[in-house]
A and B are shown apart, each in its own frame.
Chain A
Amino acid sequence: MAPKRQLRVGTQWLYVDEAEKLLREAIRIQEEEEKKRHGGHPQSWIRRYVFSTDHKWIGLQYGFTALLFLLFGFSLMLLMRLQLAWPNKAFGILKVLGETAAPGGVMLPETYNQLGAMHGTIMVFLAIVPLAVGAFGNYVVPLQIGAPDMAFPKLNMASYWCYLPGGLLMLGSFFAPGGAANSGWTSYPPLSVIATQGQTWWLLGMVFLITSSLLGSVNFIVTIIQLRAKGMTFMRFPFFVWAQLVTSFLLLLAFPPLEAAAILQLMDRVAGTSFFMPSGLVVSGNVLANAGGGNPLLWQHLFWFLAHPEVYVLILPAMGIVAEVLANNTRKPLWGYRSMVGAAVFLGFMSFVVWAHHMFLTGMGTVISAFFQTTTMIISIPSVIILTAMFMSLWGGSIRFNTPMLFALAFLPMFGIGGLTGLPLGLAASDIHLHDTYYVIGHFHYVVAPGTIFALFAGIYYWFPKVTGRMLNEFWGKVHFWLSLIFINGVFAPMFYQGLAGISRRLYDGGAQYAHANPAFKSNVLMTVSAWCLLAAQVPFIVNFFWNVFMAVLGKRNAGPNPWQATTLDWAATTSPPLAHGNFDVMPVVYRGPYEYSLPGHEFDYLPQHVEVPEAPPPGGGMLPEAVAVARREA
């Protein structure tokens, strides 16, 4: 056995584990003092836990709510998949939808449409974006830049309290006459304008969600630009902060056109205008009485002006999380940090000029198609730069294969598949064949599900000890990872095959009526079984998660402030969990870039951003970087 390592604290030599104990004791004392200091201002329960202005608690509120929506949106899809694999078969579980939606356990086409529209809406607007931006962004960004809170804590609170009613409106719409919105998550008119009342609920819900994201994005940008700690220059930001900054700009500038579109569609539905309604439209044999003269394409332009940048809102924070986890577990600086930052910013700009590649089939004209085809090819370049830099970061590293790292590593090929299968969709000629088939569904689900959601899981496993002071169980984490990886591919990989065989993505029976697609149709059973197994694969995660949350609430902690030995401020300069009031006891000062791992000439393989290296290291090696910080604080 190797001799136990010693290090010097002040004038004394200590074993490393003893030093760590001392460090924890010091942090405990600090926490106690912090409590005493603010003891004179006890906050009411409601201000602390319901209408909290603390970015960490708001982040957790967002996180819990979004995870619930994620599970709910997933379960809608599970029901749809039953219908796709065994069309018009009665299932006991479908009876939960009620007699009107699924008489005798057989799903009605109208119900299928509702589930489809709401699955998309919930997953994008209520689950992934709030989790990636509302939860991770809120919790981590102020810690990583060394800020005491967000710039506008009350707006932050208002942001969550716009998100929640928006989500509840969406949920409530299932109980509206005629059920929830059923015109797809894209709500294309004229269908959506003549649809049942649920569509109005959907539009009102979107207005709340847009307001929430507006408040959030202003807050993020101001926080990142204004509340950076001393010495935290832009090129010293962890990549995650850059990703959130670009994301916030996308949310800020891309969402308002959808708000405009939602207002116009509301007017069409409520005030009888014809913004999106062409003249002489015949519905069920009757000519509609409205004035006409509107343009259904207008909605598509406004919608995709938001929804394409939205794709990058979904993927950029995920890339940010993966970058943090990769750098930490390869124990190397990110390869090409500056190129990655440049690529992310360029990606943000370009994402505003590619929207109409979703509309090649609308007959908007070849000149416009050619333009958007070109910009779409250009925007693939920065994504490739970021992904390449991430792959290169692995090169020559001594990789730690813990659960967050496994999820982050899986992100790379999964996002790669999602991205590369997007290229044929970006070219108008091949898109004509592939559009509206399952190929498209496969493509964007590879980007968002095994891509973004895996990155979010990496983030949950990675930051869980920071938030709770407890590590998630590694064994069950790995079980969760491997099962999820297998089954999620079982769900989505056959979609490429089905799509190339020409199966439309909008069929209630999954394509059973297509004689030519019969062989491809059979894979629906594999996909549905995989989807239900994927649900089962989440059980280890759910148990692992809640068990450890429960233990953390009881105050049983088993993780130090920096269990991953990371360099960024969120880990290196805070306790686990961080101080409730202002995050830091002493505001950190930043001396170097975010990923100073394995620096030659230093005893430890990580050098936190806020640790000032003494001019000449003491003989016999240095101290634990945190110990240096504690010693400095006490001096």
Chain B
Amino acid sequence: MDAHAHAAHGHGELEIPFNVHPRPDTGLYNAKLGIWLFLASEVMLFGALFSSLILLRTGVENWPHGWKLLNVPLATLNTFVLISSSVTVVLAWASLRLGDLRKGKIYLALTLLCALIFMVVKAFEYGSKFSHHIHPSTDNFYAIYFTMTGLHGLHVLGGMVVFAYFLGPGAKMWQTEPARFTNRIEVCGLYWHFVDLVWIFLFPTLYLL
């Protein structure tokens, strides 16, 4: 049945065209286009913060070197953890595409675990700074460090909530609409790659330069 005609005659909940299957001329389903647009706005958000970092740094004479103040080994570990989680989230989606919910859930759980490890490591880093009486108000280096990594951390936390939902109650959708559920994992996977990518920019700019 034509998607247009179908929408008008759906009963009860209104059916939106191209909610699950791609529109032929754009090759995208709605949520996939939506997440790309959302990520574009996220690029502008973090772009503005990175620009602020550059402006603040060039505006003062002695900006400290990150590697002298921050814990580079821990951050390197975290970088590997996040990159691994990017791989597992793709594997989760691929498993669902192949119709294997059990495997998909395992990879999803691994992704969630990686995110958790990242946050725990981050908490240790923050904690050691606080215990040395270093706060955002200490100076502008720490101010931008706490602000940017904090905002990134909120993004990680958001991703964890979504993954937990799809592991738990959200997975019910697999029984009725497997294609739509797979799409959802793809969409949150795209978001997750972005969160990784932000970290891959944060790591050198804050810790290494």
CB-CB under 8 A from A214, the residues of chain B are: 38, 41
Q: Is the CB of A222 within 8 A of B37?
A: yes
Q: Is the CB of A227 within 8 A of B16?
A: yes
Contact between A151 and B16, CB atoms less than 8 A apart: yes
Contacts of A222 in B (CB 8 A): 30, 33-34, 37
Say whether, besides A293-B60, A294-B140, A581 and B14 are in contact (CB < 8 Å).
yes
A-B contacts besides A226-B17, A255-B41, A261-B48, 4 pairs, CB < 8 Å:
A149-B16, A226-B33, A260-B48, A291-B138
Q: Which residue of B lies closest to A272 (CB)?
A: B137
Q: B26 CB to closest chain A CB, in angstroms?
A: 6
A271 to B135, CA, bound (A): 9
For residue B38, which residues in chain A have a CB less than 8 angstroms away from its CB? 214, 218
Tell whether B113 is near chain A: CB-to-CB under 8 Å: no
- Specify which chain A residues have a CB less than 8 angstroms from the CB of B40 in the assembled complex: 252-253
Are B16 and A271 touching (Cβ within 8 A)?
no
**Which residues of A sit under 8 angstroms from B151, Cβ to Cβ?**
263
A152 and B14 contact, CB distance less than 8 A: no
A153 touches B14 (CB 8 A): yes
From the candidates B48, B59, B136, name the one contacting A256 in the complex (CB within 8 A): B48
Which residue of the partner chain, among B31, B42, B137, contacts A291 with CB atoms under 8 Å?
B137
Which residues of chain B from 11 to 51 have a CB within 8 Å of any chain A CB? 11-12, 14-18, 23, 26, 28-31, 33-34, 37-38, 40-42, 44-49
Contacts of B116 in A (CB 8 A): none
A197 at the interface (CB under 8 A from B): no
- The interface-forming segment of B1-9, B72-80, B90-98, B157-165 is B1-9
* B33 with A305: CB separation less than 8 A: no
On A, residues with C-beta under 8 Å from B are 37-38, 40-41, 53, 147-149, 151-153, 214, 217-219, 221-222, 225-227, 229-230, 252-257, 259-261, 263-264, 267, 271-275, 290-291, 293-295, 298, 301-302, 305, 581-582, 584-587
Contact yes or no, A229 B34, CB < 8 A: no
**Measured between alpha carbons, how far is A587 from B60 in the docked complex, in Å?**
61
Partner of B42, one of A148, A256, A275: A256
Specify the chain A residue showing the minimal Cβ separation from B22: A226
Q: Are B8 and A41 in contact, with the CB atoms below 8 A? A: no
Q: Residue of B at shortest CB range from A215?
A: B38
A252 touches B45 (CB 8 A): no
Q: How far is the CA of A256 from the CA of B48 in the complex (A)?
A: 8
CB atoms of A587 and B59 under 8 A apart? no
B143 within 8 A of A: yes
Residues of A contacting B15 with CB < 8 Å? 148
CA distance A379 to B137 in the complex (A): 41
When A225-B26, A273-B147 are in contact, do A260 and B41 touch as well, CB less than 8 Å? no
Could you mark each residue 148-181 of chain B with 1 if its beta carbon is under 8 Å from any beta carbon of chain A, else 0? 0001000000000000000000000000000000
Q: Which residues of A contact B100 (CB under 8 A)?
A: none
Measured CB to CB, the closest approach of chain B to A36, in angstroms, equals 12
List, in ascending order, chain B residues with CB within 8 A of A230's CB: 4
Min CB distance B33 to A, Å, is 5
A218 and B37 in contact (CB under 8 A), knowing A256-B42, A290-B137, A305-B48?
yes
A147 to B17, CA, bound (A): 9
Chain B residues with CB under 8 Å of A153's CB are 14, 16
A53 to B12, CA, bound (A): 13
A-chain residues with CB within 8 Å of residue B46 when the two chains form the complex: 260
* Chain B interface, DSSP helix/strand/loop, else mixed: helix
Q: Are B48 and A218 in contact (CB under 8 A)?
A: no
Residue B56 lies at the interface, judged by CB distance under 8 Å to chain A: yes
Assess the A264–B52 pair: CB atoms within 8 A: yes
A-B contacts, 28 listed (Cβ < 8 Å) = A41-B12, A148-B17, A152-B16, A214-B41, A218-B34, A218-B38, A218-B41, A222-B34, A226-B26, A226-B28, A226-B29, A253-B41, A255-B41, A256-B42, A260-B45, A260-B46, A261-B48, A273-B136, A273-B147, A274-B139, A293-B59, A293-B139, A298-B56, A305-B48, A582-B7, A582-B10, A584-B8, A587-B4
- Among A148, A217, A293, which residue has its beta carbon within 8 angstroms of that of B56? A293
Partner of B140, one of A255, A275, A587: A275
Instruction: Decide if B55 is an interface residue (CB 8 Å cutoff).
Output: yes
| Complex interface: chain B residues within 8 A of A263 (CB) | 49, 147, 151
- Cα separation A252 to B43 with both chains bound (whole Å): 11
What's the Cα separation between A151 and B31 when bound, in Å? 9
Q: Is A252 within 8 A of B136, CB to CB?
A: no
Q: Which residues of B contact A275 (CB under 8 A)?
A: 52, 56, 140, 143-144
Tell me, in angstroms, the Cα distance from A356 to B137 when the chains sit together.
Answer: 29
Q: How far is the CA of A255 from the CA of B42 in the complex (A)?
A: 10
Say yes or no: B45 contacts A259, CB within 8 Å: yes
Check B37 against A252 for contact (C-beta < 8 Å): yes
* Given A153-B14, A153-B16, A253-B44, residue A293 in contact with residue B137 (CB < 8 A): no
Q: Is A257 touching B48 in the complex (CB atoms < 8 A)?
A: yes
Choose among B5, B30, B41 the residue that contacts A252 (Cβ–Cβ < 8 A). B41
Top 6 A-B pairs ranked by shortest CB distance?
A272-B137, A257-B48, A256-B45, A273-B143, A260-B48, A256-B44
Query: What's the Cα separation between A225 and B30 when bound, in Å?
Result: 9
CB closest chain-B residue, reference A223: B30
Contact check, B52 vs A298: say whether CB atoms are below 8 A apart: yes
Shortest CB distance B8–A (Å): 5
Residues of B within 8 A of A293 (CB): 56, 59-60, 139-140
The answer to whether B30 and A151 have CB atoms under 8 Å apart is: yes
Q: Which residues of A contact B147 (CB under 8 A)?
A: 263-264, 267, 273
Considering the complex, give the chain A residue whose CB is closest to the CB of B33. A222
In the complex, residue of chain B having the shortest beta-carbon distance to the beta carbon of A259: B45
Residues of A with C-beta under 8 A to B26: 225-226
Q: Say yes or no: A221-B11 contact (C-beta < 8 A), given A261-B48, A274-B140, A295-B56.
A: no
Bound CA span A586–B26, Å: 23
A260–B11 Cα distance when bound, in Å, is: 43
Give chain A nearest CB distance to B6 CB in angstroms: 9
Contacting A at CB under 8 A, from B102-157, are: 135-140, 143-144, 146-147, 151
Q: How far is the CB of A515 from chain B (nearest CB, A)?
A: 41
- CA A552 to CA B140, docked complex, whole Å: 59
What A residues does B11 contact at CB under 8 A? 37-38, 40-41
Least CB distance from B112 to A in Å reads: 24
Which residues of the partner chain A approach B33 to less than 8 Å between Cβ atoms? 221-222, 225-226
Nearest CB to that of A289 among chain B residues? Answer: B137
CB distance from A306 to the nearest CB of B (A): 9
> Which single member of B17, B135, B146 contacts A227 (CB below 8 Å)?
B17
Assess whether B56 is in contact with A257, with CB atoms less than 8 Å apart.
no
B31 to chain A, nearest CB (A): 8
- Smallest CB gap from B19: residue in A: A151
A273 to B23, CA, bound (A): 48
Shortest CB distance B158–A (Å): 13
The CA of A255 and the CA of B44, in the complex, are separated in Å by 8
A253-B41, A582-B7 are known contacts. Are A274 and B143 too (CB-CB below 8 A)?
Answer: yes
B134 to A: closest C-beta gap in Å? 12
B18 touches A226 (CB 8 A): yes
A273 touches B137 (CB 8 A): yes
Report chain B residues within 8 Å CB of A273. Answer: 136-137, 140, 143, 147
Contact A302 B52 (CB under 8 A): yes
- Structural contact, A582 and B14, CB atoms closer than 8 A: yes
Tell me how far the C-beta of A11 lies from the nearest C-beta in chain B, rounded to whole angstroms: 29
